[in-house]
Amino acid sequence: MKQLLLLAAPLLMAQAPAASPPPSLVATSADEIANAAPANHWLDISPDHIMVMDTAVGQMVIQLAPQFAPMHVAAIQKLVRAGRFDDGRIVRVQDNYVVQWAAKPEAGKQPVSQPPDVREQRLRPAPLPAEYERSIDDVAFAPSPFKDSYAEAGWVSGWQAARDSSTGTVWLAHCYGTVGVGRDMPPDTGDGAELYTVIGHGPRHLDRNIANVGRVLAGIEPHAALPRGTEALGFYKNEKQRVKIARVRLASQIPGFPRWQMMDTASPSFRAVVQARANRTGFFIRQAGAADLCTLKVPVRELK
Amino acid sequence: MKQLLLLAAPLLMAQAPAASPPPSLVATSADEIANAAPANHWLDISPDHIMVMDTAVGQMVIQLAPQFAPMHVAAIQKLVRAGRFDDGRIVRVQDNYVVQWAAKPEAGKQPVSQPPDVREQRLRPAPLPAEYERSIDDVAFAPSPFKDSYAEAGWVSGWQAARDSSTGTVWLAHCYGTVGVGRDMPPDTGDGAELYTVIGHGPRHLDRNIANVGRVLAGIEPHAALPRGTEALGFYKNEKQRVKIARVRLASQIPGFPRWQMMDTASPSFRAVVQARANRTGFFIRQAGAADLCTLKVPVRELK
């Protein structure tokens, strides 16, 4: 059976070594570089910024990005702490696009249904402002050395991002595993009670059109493998098809939940990861010499 | 329930209108443009270049690209006509990467297993040359108006492609739904008996490292939703997990199989599709003004 090629890890899961050797900056694989990166090339992720979602098909661990969408993240944290996502539903799976899920409507026991009725809308939290991009002031943007089809690609504190120098703004890029906030047609209707993650080619055309609030750290696989919805836009047809969310907690609410780290994108180790992903060896007989932003994922790891 | 956004069709499935009105080149959606495109903006796909695969989870319709990998395509057509894919198996599903399947080994009834034993290797067809790129002579390359992270992006006769003017070559790009030929470490070991399709972010670093032979026209959804394999690289662990392929035929072998067309990428309609995908309206409050090659899919349609 042909291997086809080296591992393209969805989001790199390196085990933290007990004692980290100095980073090797010679051309090795991204995994090897991550495994060799010293402790000070990693950034801790606050357990208040990790959302743990237990569904009927598995556990999805999501990192929130308050530096990009502070009001949305605060609203989501509040919903989580209030148990609003418990007994929620995955309501939509569209091939090469998104898995989308919704908090349980507050108005009693009725199942999630589409479209939402007026009563449900009224009971939802107030709409949030359009936190689709932020000022480039006070953030350190590490530019990608490679071309980008959409804007200037790069990284901000461990996140795949893009910037527009003419508007002076920076935003989280839509890539595989990015988590965003669903909204209706007006741009201010997202309230954090309906979220999605990308399960296809990075839909960068969504950048600056919707609030990105985070990314999946682990557990996307069984959710990306859910049956695609048969209704328009991949919505599930009825309650029987929807996938139950047992509960959602912040990692800070779960005693003993593992710590997570992301690689510091300003570190020499990350620069080496970028070069390794652009110039793959082994199976590869010809190096691309470049890579697009969504391919240049930031290594993350669970500390065990 | 929030719609999140307009349809991002995996591969556009427009119904051919009975009488095509003249193309509208004003900014409408890609679907509207495809539906309005006149008949002479579409190219027929030969039924000899369509592979119809019936698996335990559905039917996948694949278009072959003989102009890019003639020897591989000829070998695959020969395997199909000989029934070699019948009772084959889907052997690997790696999240955000590929679904991979294999013909039934010729040596009797033993199940597909990994790694292939020496006997199986001997009985396989001879390895094919590395048809990873071809000369730009004699092909019309329509360049994309937008930047590409990897090379010069564009289209050749209805296919997403990239070129390198310095080497004088052009190749099929790895995007969602692209079909390629698995190989082992040496670059000449692909024989067409093990194929894959991309089910994640376009792995363009594979370009020029492997033979691309086609793309999925329809039916990728249930296959992209298969359980991810738990072994290294997403291989399934055992025969019980593997997904059975009932049979594979060329469309030309199936009486009454529908005709398929692809949009002519040299046509004004396709130029309008590109602009519509780069400047989406409706839900989108800010147009990207650009798009990457894998997002700029070529419309295809089944004639009913």
If you average pLDDT over every residue of chain B, what do you get? 87
Amino acid at A226: L
Nearest Cα residue in chain B from A97 = B8
Query: Counting beta carbons within 10 angstroms of the beta carbon of residue A240, is it exposed (0 to 12), middle (13 to 18) or buried (19 or more)?
Result: exposed
Instruction: Specify the pLDDT at position A126.
Output: 66
- The minimum CA-CA distance between B94 and chain A, rounded to whole Å, is 9
Take residue A76 and report the two structure tokens written for it: 């989501």
Average pLDDT over residues B41-58: 98
Region of poorest pLDDT, from A54-63, B108-117, B177-186: B108-117
- For residue A176, what is the nearest residue in chain B, using CA coordinates? B201
pLDDT in tens, B8-29: 333 333 333 333 333 333 457 9
| Mean pLDDT, residues B169-178 taken together | 98
d(CA B9, CA B262): 15
Is the Cβ of B229 closer than 8 Å to some Cβ of chain A? no
Nearest to B283 among A130, A185, A221 (CB): A185
Neighbour count for residue A180 (Cβ, 10 Å): 30
ipTM of the complex model: 0.88
Q: Which of B98, B132, B220 sits opposite A4 (nearest CB)?
A: B98
Q: Is the predicted pLDDT of residue B3 greater than 70, yes or no? A: no
Number of A/B CB contacts below 8 angstroms equals 213
Distance CA(A250)–CA(A64), nearest Å, equals 10
**CATH entry, B44-257, from 2.40.100.10, 3.90.420.10, 2.60.120.200, 1.10.3210.10:** 2.40.100.10
> Which of A100, A207, A278 comes nearest B4 by C-beta?
A100
Chain B: residue nearest A4 by CA? B182
Is the CB of residue B166 less than 8 Å away from at least one CB of chain A?
no
A280 — contact with chain B (CB < 8 Å)? Answer: yes
Give the pLDDT of residue B190: 72
What CATH number belongs to A43-106+113-263?
2.40.100.10
Quote the CA–CA distance of A172 and A217 in Å, as a whole number: 15
Q: Is B194 on the interface with A (CB under 8 A)?
A: yes
- The answer to whether B297 and B34 are in contact (CB under 8 A) is no
Is residue B231 very low, low, confident or very high in pLDDT (cuts 50, 70, 90)?
A: very high
DSSP string, B187-256: TT---SSEEEEE-SS--GGGTTSS-EEEEEEE--HHHHTSPPPSSGGGB-SSTTTSEEEEEEEEGGGSTT
**B117 confidence band (pLDDT: 50, 70, 90):** very low
A288 neighbourhood in chain B, CB within 8 Å:
150, 204-205, 207
Name chain B contacts of A3, Cβ cutoff 8 Å. Answer: 182, 184-185, 233
β strands within A220-291, DSSP E: 243-250, 259-263
Report the residue of chain A nearest B118, measured CA to CA: A1
- Give residue A18's pLDDT: 35
Question: Which H helix or E strand runs over A55?
Answer: strand A50-55
Selected residue of A92, A201, A237, A275 to mutate for chain B interface (largest B Cβ count, 10 A)? A201
SS3 call for B303: strand
At A2, the amino acid letter reads K
Write down the pTM of the prediction: 0.88
86-115 in B: which are within 8 Å (CB) of A?
91-98, 100, 102, 112-115
pLDDT at A105: 80
Report the residue of chain B nearest A146, measured CA to CA: B149
Rounded CA-CA distance A150/A235 in Å is 29
Q: Is B221 on the interface with A (CB under 8 A)?
A: yes
Tens of pLDDT, residues A129-188:
889 999 999 899 999 999 999 999 999 999 999 999 999 999 999 999 999 999 887 777
CA torsion through residues B201, B204, B205, B209, sign:
positive
Q: Measured between CB atoms, does A166 come within 8 Å of chain B?
A: no
State the average pLDDT over residues B32-41.
96
CB-CB under 8 Å, A3 with B182: yes
pLDDT of B270 > 70? The answer is: yes
Residue A53 is encoded by which pair of tokens?
A: 């979602």
What pLDDT does residue B165 have?
A: 93
Residue A227 contacts B where some CB pair is shorter than 8 Å = yes
- Parts of chain A with a pLDDT under 50: 5-26, 108-123
- Nearest CB partner across the interface for B100, out of A4, A177, A286: A4
* Mode of pairing for the β-strands spanning A98-102 and A194-198: antiparallel
User: Which one has a higher pLDDT value, A283 or B140?
Assistant: B140
| A200:B200 CB<8 A | yes
- Residues of chain A with Cβ-Cβ distance to B293 below 8 Å are 149
Q: Which of B3, B225, B233 sits opposite A7 (nearest CB)?
A: B233
Chain B hits for A112, CB-CB cut-off 8 Å, are 1
